[in-house]
Amino acid sequence: MTANNAALSMQILNSKPHDKQFKEKGMYEVQTYTICDGWINTWRHSVDNITIDLSYDEPEFFDSFAEAVDALDDHLLDLDDNQIDYNRSEYRIHFKENQDALI
């Protein structure tokens, strides 16, 4: 990860309120900007951690903003390690409200 990306992650992390007050109201997701659909959660994980069949995959969510930032930083480090170009501005951490909290 470049120094600029690390500094940006720390700036984002330090600008967020504490997560405890939001835990019952929703979760965080990493969103990727796509040309066709705009900002969407493209991150998936297997329900049973064994299958690779996409029909069993679910969107990945994080309990805290810090966990989402850590996961995104790890992903960007993997891209750096594999010398894959990316644009940090195409990723963001988004708070997704729990539908029960809206009632």
pLDDT over threshold 90, residue 82: yes
Q: How confident is the model at residue 25 (pLDDT cuts 50, 70, 90)?
A: low
Residue 53 CB neighbours (<10 A): 9
Question: How far is it, in rounded angstroms, from Cα 36 to Cα 69?
Answer: 25
Q: What is the mean pLDDT of the chain?
A: 75
Tokens of 70: 């850590």
